[in-house]
Structure 1
Amino acid sequence: MPQATHEGVLQFGTIEIEVAVLDNGQRVITQSGLMMGLGRIRPPTGRQYYRSGAHLPAFLTVQSLKPFIGEDLAAIANQIEFRTKRGVKALGYAPNFLPKVCEVFARAQHAGVLKATQHSIASRTQMIAEQLERSCTMRLIDEATSYQEIRKPHTQRNTYRSEE
């Protein structure tokens, strides 16, 4: 199981989302960090937190969001198991999962189909999306974890271009 070598927090105004870089170079957005950042108070409890079908978090499986969830989101929704720097087993998502979640809420809000309980999440995803427009998720993770300090500059540019 991969181990986190660098950990940090993405800041989107008052929203904080925990992130990590694993010993295999993979960047992850922690599951608990995503849930807390989106205002989901109940902490995730692992795989049982997911419903059948695609491995989407339960808050994305509600009927009103279904028309806005494409194959691209379902394809990257797989959980990544890893150990934190303290050795605790954790779950995370690929960096490109966060912008896709933001897109789902933006499209659903534009269509006017959000439930009252989803407006807070939509507000948070809008704030996150605005900052993600200015910088790619991998770059933000590298900055939050201080990982960019040990990477070679030309490798960073190539890595970030491939994500964008």
Structure 2
Amino acid sequence: MLDISNPRYVDKCLKMPHAKKVGYFLIENEKIFVAIQENEDCYFNKNQKELVEKYQNQIYPKDFHELSRAIVVESELFIGDTKLTCSVLNDGRRVIKDTSLFNALDRTRKGETRIEGFPPIIGSKTIAGLLTEMYPEQIETITPFEVAEFNGKTGKWYDANTIPIICDIYMEAEKQGLIKSGQQHVLEKAKILLRSLAKVGITALIDEATNYQDIRGKDELQILLEKFISEELRPYSREFKSDYFEQLFRLYKLPYDPTTTKRPRYFAGFTNKYVYDMLPPNVWEKLDEKNPLIYNSEKNRSDRKYRLHQYLSEENGLKFLREHLEGLVTVMKLSQGMDDFKEKFELVYADKLKTLGRMQSQYQLTLDMID
């Protein structure tokens, strides 16, 4: 159940990294942008506060429109000498900014003919007819849509598959002798794009331009500690919810900004001690081994390449992590500060800490016997 009774405000709600979903409420043709957290709390933009207060009693879940969101910074992609602006969405779609797609085809939007019932990239009845004939099921694919951009704003974007579809249609138009003189420059651009895409697919080009391949991670690893350690690097998921970080900032008496993922470095020490150290002793050693700290000379600090939980197995590792975090966040919420939290943690997890202590002793004894 959405909680609209106590609205919260941030500078850019669409930029909140831990939001369950982002979008807007459409009320009387007004778009009220919102980020909805895992606990159904709603965050709105500060500059829309008056609008939220005006319609607060008229906001209902049925009026919510979810937006796809960009998960990487928009980047420039060059196909030959043609520059495109691209990104990747949370649902895996690779997208091209609408203005750059028009530029890529050497077209201007101002004053161009719009064909009723077709997306704006289709600028003539001839092209519209060929689209219906060749790709009748792809009209939605090549229709621009609103995206929550990485910078917290919104913009119109096209599915990247629009490019080969449009190029193919123009090539067919030439084959049938349907290209008019005013479309010749678009045809030439389409040929250049299609030739380039024949060598490397659009998906691979966007992944390279945005460095998205570094996020996907598909490195195969040997099987270690089967119950807790995953056989391969798991795709990134948000296992640490916003509640965890909100409470962590509160316990350390720091202001919490839900629109950023920047954290004090000592938060990692808290997470290691109160989360990962609660795993069986040998599990932590293997996580550290698989995903070691790597020194970055440019930043003058050491970081891990991936999130530690990406190496936990679904059946046991992640199940343990999720259940532990649920209980831990409850203890955090009941604590007034760090000293109070430490006392409550020792009390709540006393039996578990004793068990871990015995496991650690047995594990160390086993290692000594092997040596």
Alpha-carbon displacement from aligned partner over 1:9-31 (angstroms, at most 9, x marks no partner)? 22111111111112343321111
Counterpart Cα distance in 2 of 1:146 and 1:100: 25
1:2 to 2:64 alignment = no
Structure 1 segments unaligned to the other structure (5+ residues)? 155-164
Structure 1 match to 2:285: none
Deviation at 1:43, TM superposition (A): 6.3
- The alpha-carbon distance between structure 1 residues 32 and 43, as it changes in their structure 2 partners (threshold 3 A), is farther
Secondary structure, in 3 states, of the residue corresponding to 2:68? coil
Q: Is 1:52 matched with 2:116?
A: yes
Is 1:22 the counterpart of 2:89? The answer is: yes
Q: Distance in 2 between matches of 1:15 and 1:60?
A: 20
Q: Work out which of the residue numbers 109, 122, 130 in structure 1 matches 2:174.
A: 109
Q: Once the 2 structures are TM-superposed, how far is the Cα of residue 61 of structure 1 from its aligned partner?
A: 4.1
**Contact 1:36 / 1:43 at 8 angstroms: preserved in 2?**
no
**Of 109, 114, 125, which residue of structure 2 is paired with 1:63?**
125
The 2-side partners of 1:112 and 1:73 are apart by 23
Q: How far apart in 2 are the matches of 1:74 and 1:62? A: 15
Deviation at 1:2, TM superposition (A): 2.8
Task: Give distance in 1, aligned partners of 2:96 and 2:190.
Answer: 14
The match for 1:157 is none
> Which structure has the larger Rg?
2
Q: CA RMSD in A?
A: 2.3
What SS class does the counterpart of residue 74 from structure 1 fall into? coil
Aligned-residue offset at 1:67? 3.4
Question: Residue 149 of structure 1: CA displacement?
Answer: 1.4
CA distance in 1, matches of 2:114, 2:155: 15
SS at match of 2:83: strand
> Whole-Å Cα distance in 1 between the matches of residues 210 and 188 of structure 2?
26
Greater shift after overlay, 84-93 or 29-38?
A: 84-93
Counterpart amino acid of 1:122? L
Helix, strand or coil for the counterpart of 2:216?
coil
1:35 aligns with one of 102, 113, 119: 102
TM-score (norm 1): 0.79
The 8 Å contact of residues 115 and 124 in structure 2, kept in 1 or not, is answered as no
Preserved CA contact (<8 Å) 2:75 2:86: yes
Amino acid at match of 1:136: G
Distance in 2 (CA, whole Å) between partners of 1:33 and 1:26 is 17
**CA offset at residue 50 of structure 1?**
5.2
What SS does the aligned partner of 1:150 have?
helix
The answer (yes or no) to whether the contact 1:8–1:18 under 8 Å persists in 2 is: yes
Distance in 2 (CA, whole Å) between partners of 1:153 and 1:130 is: 29
| TM-score normalised according to structure 2 size | 0.37
2:163 paired residue number: 98
- Partner letter of residue 105 of structure 2? L
How far apart in 1 are the matches of 2:71 and 2:162?
21
Secondary structure, counterpart of 1:40 in structure 2: coil
Q: Is the 8 A contact 1:32 1:43 kept in 2?
A: no
Letter in 2 for 1:52: E
Cα distance in 2 between the residues matched to 1:52 and 1:134: 35
Q: Which runs of 5+ in 2 are unaligned?
A: 1-66, 220-371
Counterpart residue number, 1:88: 153
Judged with a 3 Å threshold, the aligned counterparts in structure 2 of structure 1 residues 78 and 133 are, in CA distance, closer, same or farther, namely: same
Q: CA deviation at 1:89?
A: 1.4
Alignment size in residue pairs: 148
